[in-house]
Amino acid sequence: MEKDGLTIVYTGKGKGKTTAALGIALRATGYKKKICMIQFIKGSWHYGEMDSSKRLEPEFEMIAVGKGFVGIIDDKSSKEDHKKIAEEAIRISNEKIHSGNYDIVILDEINYAVNLELISVDDVLNLIKSKPLEMDLVLTGNYARNEVIEVADLVTEMREIKHPFQRGIKAKKGIDF
């Protein structure tokens, strides 16, 4: 195992943050690396990676912890419920990061969870600082905090230039979910 694990951040308002992280997972499974993806916000809806991730087993494990997107039209959960679930996602993340079972851990939408004040930036920084030296850690989600950007090794900001929603085209299976 390499001793130079990276902290990678995919952020920004453009599409593709989770997709980029899944691209790493797809590539890494080709090398028989073990990957765990913990989803902080997604969870109550059905989306493609819930099924496709099973096809990458046993190298890839996905855990959808969230109760779905926070504060949108059909969100019936209280902010307090979302906070409890996000705290559980932090606990699971900490457990998986320190289990010794994974080469890569992906914390999907963790930046957004901080922005929504479901967890603190200190929670995220503690995960980054305590990760094993050989582990690669990938954090996704809009609104990455400067403190996270400063300690990361690679930061990519997705910037929307054009989106089909602007023309009234709805989310598409296999592309958006």
User: With 80 as the cut, is the pLDDT of residue 10 above it?
Assistant: yes
- Determine contact, residues 45/173, Cβ cutoff 8 Å: no
More confident residue, 9 or 55: 9
CATH 3.40.50.300 fits 23-167, yes or no: yes
- In tens, the pLDDT along 146-155 reads 999 999 999 9
Which one-letter amino acid corresponds to residue 53?
Answer: S
Mean pLDDT of the chain: 90
- In tens, the pLDDT along 47-95 reads 678 788 888 999 999 999 866 555 454 556 677 888 999 999 999 999 9
Q: At what angle do helices 79-97 and 121-130 cross, to 10 degrees?
A: 10
SS3 state of residue 80: helix
State the Rg of the chain over Cα: 16
